[in-house]
Structure 1
Amino acid sequence: MRTPHYAPLISLVALCTLGPQAQAYELYNEDDGATVLNADLWAGFGWFGSEKNYLANPQEEPGRMRWQEGFAKYGLNGTTNKIGPGSIYGGFSLISTGSWGDGDAGAITAGNERRTAVEDAYLGWKSGDLIPALGTDGVDFSFGRQLVTVDGFLITDDGFAPGKAFSPIPGVADGRFNRGGAFYLGPRLAFGNTAVLKLGGTDGLHGSLMWLKSDNPGQSETEVAAATIDYTTPIGSIGSTYVHGLDVNERYTFADRSERKGMDIYSIRGQGNAGIENADFAFEVARQEKRSGSQRAMFFDAGYTFADVKWQPAVSYRYSRYSEGWDFLFQGGFRKRYQGEVAANYAGSVTSNMQINDVLFSVQPTDKLTLNAMYFHYHQLSDRDTQDFSAREVDLYLDWMVTDNITLSPLVGFYKPKKWLEDGGLQSGSASTNTYLQFIVWVTF
């Protein structure tokens, strides 16, 4: 049985360059920012190729696949402090996505997906100086359809974007999980419905309470409640996250998704430079309690930038580990350390039953060009359904800001699995090294 993909869905290329609302075009500005209305555009198009595939279908030899993905997100956002105390903010956007060609190398998309739908539709209120004890904007309440991200790896976004080919049951792809293509680019990040209360700002002691309801069939339309508490200083922050599973849609449950209802997750996490200039550290240790038992996951990473050296070389190391029954929940790639290109997206789950070591090295010849190299070693912790996703991967890529609005991101990856389709892996043809290519154009206005 093929293991479903539990991949982080935004590439490291994207998270190193652009955010979904990195820029905006100002349509209206009254009284020096008292009331502001912005227009947003975020778009991307990618060309992809893989010399091997991971379809778990012997009829697809030798396995070469070519496909394309694209999206455009467009809308409005604004804020005003002229209606009562504090300020009111909100946003509305649509997103159009599509996939073309053979479909991706992991049988998530078929290459004929298209969809336009509402992406953001939210309102919020910030307290301004109304409650001095909590600081400026010490209360921030928002609701509606929006992106919600929590530090660490438990809740990053709702970006998992399967297409018509995705099926947890081999041979049964009825399209019920289809979100309209652009699986790799993964721009559909917003949760279907939310209510988020943040208290205390971003410094000192602060926290949040939230309710998140996914409308993503690939996430079994999971509904959760969550709480965070953090203490932030100039050298870093320490915090904790608690997540409780409220419900799932049984029509879309597969594998152990039904256990999300009633599941409890606890974590301790931290990040910062620990007082060391140009250093960066982060960690999280998490535990899941569900009907089948306890599961654990953790990561630690450390990095350093040689800021006084030509091209400002930076190096970092990350260790992560996920127990055999770990549920990845809403772990994504956007604004987080990515877990590899081929391994994470196409070649099998890397967020359960896996130990991962990876190293990132980058240099910045100019303020608009960054060259990157990553090495990954994936080691499966125990046998599971006779499949073994142990592998090594090297990814070489660059981020080139051609203009303030356009970034080009070419990448070449080399993926060497321990096993292939006929002896317990997923790769077609053989366990020889697969060459993977992609070229993405990102646009923001």
Structure 2
Amino acid sequence: MVERNLRCRCLISGAILSAVLGFAATPAAADVSLYENGGLKIDGAFTGGIAAFSSPGAQFGAGSWSNNGAAAPGKRISGHPAWTEWFIHPELKAAYDTGTHGTFYGDVSAQVTATGGDGDASLVSTTYGRPILLELENLYGGWKSGNLVPFLDENGLDISGGRQSFRVADGFLISNGVNNQGKRGMYWTQSRTAFEQTGILKAASGPVRGDIFYLQNVSANSKLDPGLVDNAKTRLIGGNLEIFENLASEDGKPAKDGATVYADRKWYAGITYFKVFDASNGNNFAFGNTGNGGNTTVTNTLTSNRDGMNVFSAHVGGNVLPFLPDFSLYGNYVYENNSSNNKKVNANAWYIEPGYQFSDLPMTPKLTYRYAHFSGDKSPGDTTKKAYDPFFYNAITRGYGTWFIGEIIGNYVISNSNVNIHEVALSINPLDNVKLSVLGFTYNYDQKTQNAGVTSDNLAREIDFTAEWTINDHLLLTAAFGMAKAGTGYREYLKNNANGWDADKTWYLGETALVVKF
């Protein structure tokens, strides 16, 4: 008990020290105008960040292990991993306003990313070995219509293509085009988001907007990490249609633009469909191909069986009741189906999240509850995969716990598949630019028999304490402290997958991050 208390004190002290050091940071400037003449404008931008982590009792005592080349534990790295992540992202933007025929634009950027120390706290660490990488992030161009299309908003038609980011709603299904693992590092920070290839048409008229999109992700199974095969290379085409309402304008600031900026929406509702017309389906992404390195079951790799899949989704979010402005409701439903050849899939996921902001009370506390369901596979040896494929979800769009649900379990145990989650969160704002939150989670396997040797659906429990300080428009400092206890089901899983470890320790995590953007 004494040892655990000392560890907790060290983690909390580290978070406080980081907050104090944050006061000394120099505020960043706005976007830098490099050249402007006539209709041509060239700007520079920069984003950078650094984060530090300490995780005593990782994996409930089993610790973090290296990859033996088959996505299974090799050697034990540490039972108390500590690591850092940092990235630098310079960007160059150009736009040419023709005056009468719309605006042509382009963007190019790169990122340097690095993970130091022991790497992340996953059972099999994907960032062990202190990776560092310089890689292209954005390289795309496009055209906006200006006032050329009379029945659309100004710039209501936007056509673009190339290497860029793309998100639907709050990122439950589509947000992140690359896995920040292996030599890319940045497992927690998730600084890279661009898809490798895109073709996107956006249209907006009043409260209605829509997208037609072609996407190809950056596969983790690449020349960078030929042994890392956790994400099938995927090409898809689809559409998204939404209705929304803008937030009220703020004094002295531009009008809100919910058609293009997710955070500018008071509420929204929409439907999405896409078809995967090509995906990696060999080796670890194959089914019934055990003699050539393929899956022994359809659920060994979550992103297998994508080729030919149809995905349907409906989503809602924001302050949906005008007569109750303090009430919010977020939700999403996704259904996945594939009946082509032997790559059968029948899976689903959904969540519902009501919340209430007590705006008349001091510090405007907000209370939310979320239930999230991600289907599992009761019979992984049959011919149909029922485990949900999480596709391209991202980390933070609405704050801590968004789609990496829990700083410990959500980041380093689950992959938003075969799990049901209850979450309760309470946040307060002691200052306009400071948010403090406490989040509690319970996790249960949806289908315990998906994992061999697991007889209990009790996966884990977790509680997190978080702080977010928006120092100014360009500087953000965050800190979090969490602790988790393993359930019987995950202890059984670790005994089978971590060389017999009986993982009964409390797992702690302390983290802090500073992000600069201009």
User: Which of the five TM-score ranges fits, normalised by the shorter chain?
Assistant: 0.7 to 0.9
1:159-179 deviation digits (Å, cap 9, x = unpaired):
42111xxxxxxxxxxxxxx4x
Rate the CA distance shift 1:318–1:127 in 2: closer, same or farther, 3 A: same
Q: Which has the larger radius of gyration?
A: 2
SS in 2 for 1:135: coil
CA distance in structure 2 between the partners assigned to 1:226 and 1:23 by the alignment = 36
CA distance in structure 2 between the partners assigned to 1:60 and 1:72 by the alignment = 31
SS in 2 for 1:260: coil
- Find the counterpart in structure 2 of residue 380 from structure 1: 445
- Find the counterpart in structure 2 of residue 101 from structure 1: 117
CA distance in structure 2 between the partners assigned to 1:429 and 1:25 by the alignment = 55
CA distance in structure 1 between the partners assigned to 2:209 and 2:516 by the alignment = 35
Q: Is the 8 A contact 2:237 2:276 kept in 1?
A: yes
Rate the CA distance shift 1:118–1:263 in 2: closer, same or farther, 3 A: same
Unpaired segments ≥5 residues, structure 2: 1-27, 66-72, 221-229, 247-265, 286-300, 377-386
Rate the CA distance shift 1:361–1:231 in 2: closer, same or farther, 3 A: same
- Give how far 1:133 is off: 1.1
1:246 aligns with 2:249: no
The counterpart of 1:42, out of the listed 31, 43, 47, is 47
Unpaired segments ≥5 residues, structure 1: 1-20, 164-177
1:302 aligns with 2:369: no
- Find the counterpart in structure 1 of residue 175 from structure 2: 156
- Find the counterpart in structure 2 of residue 359 from structure 1: 424
- Percent identity reads 26
- Give how far 1:345 is off: 1.4
CA distance in structure 1 between the partners assigned to 2:108 and 2:475 by the alignment = 23
- Find the counterpart in structure 1 of residue 412 from structure 2: 346
- Give how far 1:371 is off: 1.1
- Find the counterpart in structure 2 of residue 267 from structure 1: 313
Rate the CA distance shift 1:162–1:133 in 2: closer, same or farther, 3 A: same
CA distance in structure 2 between the partners assigned to 1:440 and 1:397 by the alignment = 11
- Find the counterpart in structure 1 of residue 484 from structure 2: 415
Q: Is the 8 A contact 2:491 2:504 kept in 1?
A: no
Quote the RMSD (CA, aligned, Å). Answer: 2.5
- Find the counterpart in structure 2 of residue 231 from structure 1: 243
The counterpart of 2:33, out of the listed 16, 26, 29, is 26
SS in 2 for 1:112: coil
SS in 1 for 2:409: helix
Q: Is the 8 A contact 2:162 2:198 kept in 1?
A: yes
Q: What letter is aligned with 2:185? A: G
Rate the CA distance shift 1:414–1:141 in 2: closer, same or farther, 3 A: same
1:419-443 deviation digits (Å, cap 9, x = unpaired):
3876224786632321111111111
- Find the counterpart in structure 2 of residue 284 from structure 1: 332
- Find the counterpart in structure 2 of residue 174 from structure 1: none
Rate the CA distance shift 1:252–1:36 in 2: closer, same or farther, 3 A: farther
Superposed, 1:59-70 pairs within 5 Å as 60=76, 63-70=79-86
Q: Given the two structures, how large is their TM-score scaled by the length of structure 1?
A: 0.84
- Give how far 1:250 is off: 4.6
Q: Is the 8 A contact 2:77 2:118 kept in 1?
A: no
- Give how far 1:389 is off: 6.7
1:405 aligns with 2:410: no
- Give how far 1:125 is off: 0.9
Rate the CA distance shift 1:380–1:189 in 2: closer, same or farther, 3 A: same
CA distance in structure 1 between the partners assigned to 2:143 and 2:327 by the alignment = 35
1:77 aligns with 2:102: no
Q: What letter is aligned with 1:156? A: S
Q: Is the 8 A contact 2:29 2:474 kept in 1?
A: no
CA distance in structure 2 between the partners assigned to 1:195 and 1:309 by the alignment = 47
Rate the CA distance shift 1:252–1:215 in 2: closer, same or farther, 3 A: farther
Rate the CA distance shift 1:61–1:35 in 2: closer, same or farther, 3 A: closer
Q: Is the 8 A contact 1:379 1:389 kept in 2?
A: yes
CA distance in structure 1 between the partners assigned to 2:490 and 2:372 by the alignment = 26
- Give how far 1:143 is off: 0.6
Structure 1 or 2: larger helix share? 2
- Find the counterpart in structure 2 of residue 206 from structure 1: 209
1:147 aligns with 2:165: yes
Superposed, 1:417-436 pairs within 5 Å as 417-419=486-488, 423-425=492-494, 430-436=503-509
- Give how far 1:410 is off: 1.6
SS in 1 for 2:190: coil
SS in 1 for 2:58: coil
CA distance in structure 2 between the partners assigned to 1:227 and 1:151 by the alignment = 13
1:125-159 deviation digits (Å, cap 9, x = unpaired):
11111111122222111111100001151101224
Rate the CA distance shift 1:28–1:312 in 2: closer, same or farther, 3 A: farther
Rate the CA distance shift 1:23–1:334 in 2: closer, same or farther, 3 A: farther
The counterpart of 2:201, out of the listed 173, 180, 197, is 197
Q: Is the 8 A contact 2:280 2:307 kept in 1?
A: no
- Find the counterpart in structure 2 of residue 86 from structure 1: 102
Q: What letter is aligned with 2:146? A: G
Q: Is the 8 A contact 2:178 2:218 kept in 1?
A: no
Q: Is the 8 A contact 2:58 2:508 kept in 1?
A: no
Q: Is the 8 A contact 1:145 1:192 kept in 2?
A: yes
Q: Given the two structures, how large is their TM-score scaled by the length of structure 2?
A: 0.73
CA distance in structure 1 between the partners assigned to 2:471 and 2:169 by the alignment = 31
CA distance in structure 1 between the partners assigned to 2:78 and 2:133 by the alignment = 31
Q: What letter is aligned with 1:435? A: Y
CA distance in structure 2 between the partners assigned to 1:212 and 1:159 by the alignment = 12
CA distance in structure 2 between the partners assigned to 1:423 and 1:52 by the alignment = 17
Relative contact order (C-alpha < 8 Å, sep 6+): which is higher? 1
Count of matched residue pairs: 406
Q: Is the 8 A contact 1:347 1:389 kept in 2?
A: no
